[in-house]
Amino acid sequence: MEGSFNIEEFKFIKQIGEGTFGKIYSTQWNKNNKEYAMKKMFLKTKAEIKRNKEQTDLVFNFLKKTGNNGVVKIYGSQCKEIEDQDKAENKDYEYNFYVLMELADIDWEKEINNRKLSKNYYTEGEIYKIMRQLIKAFSELQKNYITHRDIKPQNILIVNNNYKIGDFGEAKITEGNNIIKQSIKGTELYMSPILFTALNKRQSIIIHNTFKSDVFSLGMCLFLASTLSFKSLYDIREVKDSKVIKKILEKYLIVKYSYNFVNILVKMLEVDENLRPDFIELENDFFYK
């Protein structure tokens, strides 16, 4: 089943997710009775097919090359013209694009919300475990010049208590140049300051270090997980002074977490990207001394 598959061999069990791209289902392959996730996207043009095939192949080839266990496994993709019975529901689209993936237990945002409801805060050990897993995976992506560009808890999936990177719909190859000119991508609440400012100024193109922008986004995710409160993110969203951000982090975190942990987040949420580490530097500085 490497790289391609026959959609007719899969039984669709139930819908488990939905977004602007389409829907995600749990499915069962009739050849081994194992369950997989199946993303079903609705596309209009062959150009959209080409783009989604390239994004899927980017992750598939990365996994094949590295064997990285910190990225949600992709097993292949298939495109089919929408059949007559589906035309009524999807009259504006011509194609269904399917991506077969590893089935996750839950996404990180849902887990955070569940913990908030039960007031079950992450211990520092739990947060460090998550941080190490994700930084290691993002560092490996950076070494292969792949930037994610839309890091948020919803795009981190949990498989057997392992936190894995998913949804590479905005991912890009940087061709070895960390500082690049590119369109603004990402989710507003988690954007790095340089992207957030450009978005508010209605700029469409920005020159920045895309890996360092991803570091900021992951820092926001970790801050959310540490506080279980979206208010904490809004408190620093428009702050442009790193010293003020540090005070806000200390206010929220120092009761439950160590200064060492707080200082890692301070580095990740540094306003000036020239002073902010990328993933490789984070991995080396904090976990391999």
Same domain, 24 and 161: no
Same domain, 67 and 204: no
Alpha helices in the chain, H assignment, sequence order? 46-66, 84-87, 108-118, 124-143, 193-200, 210-227, 230-237, 242-253, 259-268, 279-287
Average pLDDT score over residue span 180-192: 84
Is 272 part of a structural domain of the chain? Answer: yes
| CATH number for 31 | 3.30.200.20
Cβ count near 114 (within 10 Å): 12
| CA 63 to chain CA mean position, Å | 16
Residues forming beta bridges with residue 40, ordered by sequence position? 23, 98
Same domain, 148 and 87: no
| Interacting residues of 220 by C-beta distance below 8 A, sequence separation 6+ | 189, 190, 233, 269
In contact, 27 and 38? CB cutoff 8 Å: yes
| Residues counted in the chain | 289
Q: pLDDT tens digit string along 14-62?
A: 999 887 678 999 999 999 999 999 999 999 999 999 999 999 999 999 9
* Confidence band for 178, pLDDT divided at 50, 70 and 90: low
Q: Residue 116: is its pLDDT beyond 60?
A: yes
Using only C-alpha atoms, what is the Rg of the chain? Answer: 20
Is 217 part of a structural domain of the chain? Answer: yes
Q: Residue 2: is its pLDDT beyond 60?
A: no
How far is residue 202's CA from residue 187's CA, in Å, rounded to a whole number?
Answer: 15
Same domain, 254 and 222: yes
How far is residue 173's CA from residue 169's CA, in Å, rounded to a whole number?
Answer: 12
Q: Residue 74: is its pLDDT beyond 50?
A: yes
Same domain, 143 and 249: yes
- Residue 131 DSSP SS3: helix
Same domain, 153 and 256: yes
Q: What is the pLDDT of residue 212?
A: 96
| Interacting residues of 44 by C-beta distance below 8 A, sequence separation 6+ | 92, 93, 94, 95
Q: What is the pLDDT of residue 3?
A: 62
Averaged pLDDT score across all residues of the chain: 91
Q: What is the pLDDT of residue 17?
A: 87
| CATH number for 236 | 1.10.510.10
In contact, 97 and 179? CB cutoff 8 Å: no
Q: Which of 82, 101, 120 is the last residue of a domain?
A: 101
The number of folded domains in the chain is 2
Q: What is the pLDDT of residue 92?
A: 75
Is 2 part of a structural domain of the chain? Answer: no
Q: Residue 67: is its pLDDT beyond 80?
A: yes
Q: pLDDT tens digit string along 214-270?
A: 999 999 999 999 999 999 999 999 999 999 999 999 999 999 999 999 999 999 999
Same domain, 274 and 167: yes
Taking each helix axis as running N to C, give the angle between helix 124-143 and helix 210-227, from 0 to 180 degrees, rounded to the nearest 10. 160
Domain housing 94: 7-101
Same domain, 205 and 143: yes
Q: Residue 1: is its pLDDT beyond 50?
A: no
Average pLDDT score over residue span 106-122: 97
How far is residue 172's CA from residue 100's CA, in Å, rounded to a whole number?
Answer: 20
Q: Got the DSSP string for 153-205?
A: GGGEEEETTEEEE---TT-EE-TT-SEEEEE--S-GGG--HHHHHHHHTT-SE
Is 68 part of a structural domain of the chain? Answer: yes
Is 80 part of a structural domain of the chain? Answer: yes
Is 110 part of a structural domain of the chain? Answer: yes
pTM to 2 decimal places:
0.92
Same domain, 94 and 122: no
Same domain, 97 and 110: no
Is 1 part of a structural domain of the chain? Answer: no
Average pLDDT score over residue span 115-130: 97
Q: Which of 83, 101, 119 is the last residue of a domain?
A: 101
Cβ count near 97 (within 10 Å): 22
Is 14 part of a structural domain of the chain? Answer: yes
Q: Which of 31, 66, 101 is the last residue of a domain?
A: 101
Same domain, 92 and 125: no
Same domain, 152 and 259: yes
